[in-house]
Amino acid sequence: MVIFVISRLLQAVPVLLVVGFIAFAMFAYVGNPVTMMLGQDFTEAQRAALVAQLGLDQPFFVQYAKFLWAALHGEFGVSYRLARPVTELIAERLPATLELAFTASAIALLIGVPMGVYTGIYRNSPLARAFMLFSLAGVSLPTFLIGILLILVFSVLLGWLPSFGRGDVVALGSWWTTGFLTASGLKALILPSVTLGLFQMTLIMRLVRAEMLEVLRSDYIKFARARGLTNRAVNFGHALKNTLVPVITIVGLQLGGLVAFAIVTETVFQWPGMGLLFVQSVSSADIPVMSAYLQLVALLFVGINLMVDLLYYAVDPRLRAGVRR
Amino acid sequence: MTALRAAWNSDVAWSFRHAPMAMLSAFVVLVCILGAFLSPWLAPQDPFDLAGLSLMDSLRPPVFMDDGEWTYPLGTDNQGRDVLSAIMYGTRISLVVGVSAVAFAFVLGMVLGMVAGYAGGATDAVLMRIADVQLTFPAILIALLVQGVVVAALPQEAQEDFQLLVLVFAIGISNWPQFARTVRGSTLVERGKDYVMAARVIGIPAWRILLSHILPNVLGPVLVIATLNLGFAIITEATLSFLGVGLPPTRPSLGTLIRVGNNFLFSGEWWMTIFPGLMLALMVLSINLLGDWLRDALNPRLR
């Protein structure tokens, strides 16, 4: 177990180093901070002094090491566009994105799994066919288009739900703000999280359906029926339980996808999260923010992959037996 | 004529004639392509000819609504542009960017995949490691990042001219690992075969072996991936343009049209957004269905 975790961690290190290198190279080769900071008039001595002060005269790898050291301590420089420390900007936006991603996953699981079970059990019923058709649309429509359609129906035509922002937020502790505690915050959360969760939902539904079809054919289900167990016990107690291992893996891996698609969803709904910050920094070439976002996302992905591996290990006893042998 | 008959009787054509879904999507894709590339002749109006626009005709609804006119079947935008014509020109740009991006990813992936598979050793390890790292991240994120960095690195005045190329480059770069991995796999298989051995024995240089002996034998599977990737590339382009980092409103793709139209959604002019959106969805859905069919038709195990 310990060896497994350590080998996984060792695999993650080169990935993070490579991403760190790319992030550093963006700083080193795109734009020139010295001319930006000096302004119009300067002497050669002033320029040299600033270069020495910023450490730009040092060898490439010394600069790279310093950069990594600063990143490890959570220092990512100052945003060109907003003139504020990047760490502060991201910390401010992080709760919004995490709450959105969390709600989206919850919706995807709570609706996707029952839909998958239903279409797996009654696969020829008209309702199951309708679900499958719906999932085809969910897979092929681009995220932003789904968001726009939802806004058109629920905000513009019906006027039930707000179409942008987070509503009223409540501060918890020194930096976490939550929209879960106010009515307007919860209402504002509905459309973005449905948009973000829809793709995952259809994915989970199709996966659970395929697994259910597979499992329901197996012998132990026949035995369970022969023992006279109720349909509910067979379908949920025996069949569903065994479909969950691949579902956990996919849901875990897709969490990273959620962060990426949150960029699109946050832009459609003007949701004040990290994704919106990133898009704004891309269009105004704000390198420090882009570089910090890249490193943070890399860390998140590596962490999620590690957690999925561990979870797999905990859920599937065969893996544990294999290691001990 | 005999060649045509042979093509008509081939397995793939047979499977095509017995798949109504594939025929329908092929028809839709064909209509999209014709409509897009013949737009200078077919479109009712030239949306880029400022002299032909009239602000008097701006924000007209589609023909089936109360104020609609047959001159503008799908309505007009805020500058009096015919939405149908804008969609036709936009589809052309979307298709050009999508196809070029896939072609770029295809060539890059082919070359790197064949080199990795044929050379083996450290070259292989490094290339595939890079591909692995890149596959950990969603393609849209990489495309956004590449787009941002390249635009930042270009001088201000060059940005307009290179916008299209940068977009193709960004989407292509974010897609190459899929091609490279497939090609590397088939190259590894081909490398061990006798004809490659024979070619090496008689002293043909490595690049010629790759180009004229291995290339034709590894082409099949990647062509299917290319079709499946086209829909994805079109969506990526639309998403980038929608996010405002793709094509500018002066040369709108479908994504740009949706973004511009989105600003008018609240004042009730829904047709500026919804029609380009439907066009995008219809086109991508048809391309994906066609790709799925091609994958199944070319796979002998599924027959």
Is A140 in contact with B144 (Cβ distance < 8 A)? no
Q: Which residues pair with A170 in a beta bridge?
A: A178
- The ipTM is 0.75
- The pLDDT value given to residue A33: 64
Among the partner residues B136, B238, B281, nearest to A301 by beta-carbon distance: B136
Is A264 in contact with B239 (Cβ distance < 8 A)? yes
Other beta carbons within 10 angstroms of residue A149's beta carbon come to 18
Residue A81 · residue A280 · CB < 8 Å: yes
- The pLDDT value given to residue B51: 65
> Which residues of A fall within a CB distance of 8 Å from B272?
none
Span A6-21, average pLDDT: 78
Q: Is the pLDDT of residue B254 over 50?
A: yes
Write the pLDDT tens digit of every residue in A118-171.
888 887 788 888 887 777 777 778 888 888 888 888 887 787 877 777 777 777
Question: Closest residue of A to B248, CA-based?
Answer: A283
Task: Please state, in angstroms and rounded to a whole number, the distance separating the CA atoms of residues A138 and A120.
Answer: 18
The whole-chain average pLDDT of chain A stands at: 78
Task: Please state, in angstroms and rounded to a whole number, the distance separating the CA atoms of residues A180 and A219.
Answer: 46
Question: Closest residue of B to A151, CA-based?
Answer: B265
Most confident of A53-57, B58-62, B218-222: B218-222
Is A290 in contact with B243 (Cβ distance < 8 A)? no
- The pLDDT value given to residue A35: 65
Percent with pLDDT over 70 in chain B: 86
* Sequence-separated (6 or more) residues with CB below 8 Å from residue A7: none
- The pLDDT value given to residue A325: 39
* Sequence-separated (6 or more) residues with CB below 8 Å from residue B294: B224, B227
Q: How many H helices and E strands in chain A?
A: 14, 2
- The pLDDT value given to residue B107: 93
CA distance A111 to chain B (A): 24
The two structure tokens encoding residue B115: 């080199």
Is B256 at the interface with chain A, CB within 8 A?
Answer: no
Length of chain A in residues, anyone? Answer: 325
CA distance A238 to chain B (A): 31
Q: Is the pLDDT of residue B122 over 90?
A: no
- The pLDDT value given to residue A324: 45
Span A4-9, average pLDDT: 75
Residue B200 · residue B216 · CB < 8 Å: no
Where do the H-state alpha helices sit in B10-120?
11-17, 20-37, 39-42, 83-119
Q: Is the pLDDT of residue B39 over 70?
A: yes
Task: Please state, in angstroms and rounded to a whole number, the distance separating the CA atoms of residues B45 and B36.
Answer: 13
Is B15 at the interface with chain A, CB within 8 A?
Answer: no
Task: Please state, in angstroms and rounded to a whole number, the distance separating the CA atoms of residues A180 and A172.
Answer: 11
Span B32-45, average pLDDT: 78
Task: Please state, in angstroms and rounded to a whole number, the distance separating the CA atoms of residues B34 and B41.
Answer: 11
* Sequence-separated (6 or more) residues with CB below 8 Å from residue B35: B42, B88, B91
Q: pLDDT tier at B15 (50, 70, 90 boundaries)? A: confident
Q: pLDDT tier at B46 (50, 70, 90 boundaries)? A: confident
Torsion from C-alpha of A94, A97, A103, A107, nearest 10 degrees: -150
Task: Please state, in angstroms and rounded to a whole number, the distance separating the CA atoms of residues A292 and B175.
Answer: 23
Write the pLDDT tens digit of every residue in B155-196.
666 666 777 888 888 888 888 888 898 888 888 888 888 888
- The pLDDT value given to residue B303: 46
The two structure tokens encoding residue B208: 């010629």
Question: Closest residue of A to B277, CA-based?
Answer: A145
The two structure tokens encoding residue B116: 């990795």
Q: How many CA atoms lie within 13 A of A131 on its CB side?
A: 26
Is B284 in contact with A142 (Cβ distance < 8 A)? yes
Q: Is the pLDDT of residue B139 over 70?
A: yes
Write the pLDDT tens digit of every residue in A185-240.
777 888 888 888 888 888 888 888 888 887 777 888 888 888 888 877 777 777 77
Residue A219 · residue A127 · CB < 8 Å: no
- The pLDDT value given to residue B300: 58
Q: Give SS3 for A78.
A: strand
Residue B31 · residue B55 · CB < 8 Å: no
Question: Closest residue of A to B244, CA-based?
Answer: A283
Span B282-293, average pLDDT: 84
The whole-chain average pLDDT of chain B stands at: 80
CA distance A197 to chain B (A): 16
Report B:270-299 residues touching A (Cβ under 8 A). Answer: 270, 273-274, 277, 280-281, 284-285, 288
Percent with pLDDT over 70 in chain A: 88
- The pLDDT value given to residue B71: 67
Backbone angles phi, psi at A178, to 5 degrees: -125, 145
The two structure tokens encoding residue A171: 């501060």
- The pLDDT value given to residue B109: 92
* Residue from A148, A145, A199, A261 nearest B279 by CA: A145
Among the partner residues B144, B242, B288, nearest to A144 by beta-carbon distance: B242
Amino acid at A76: F
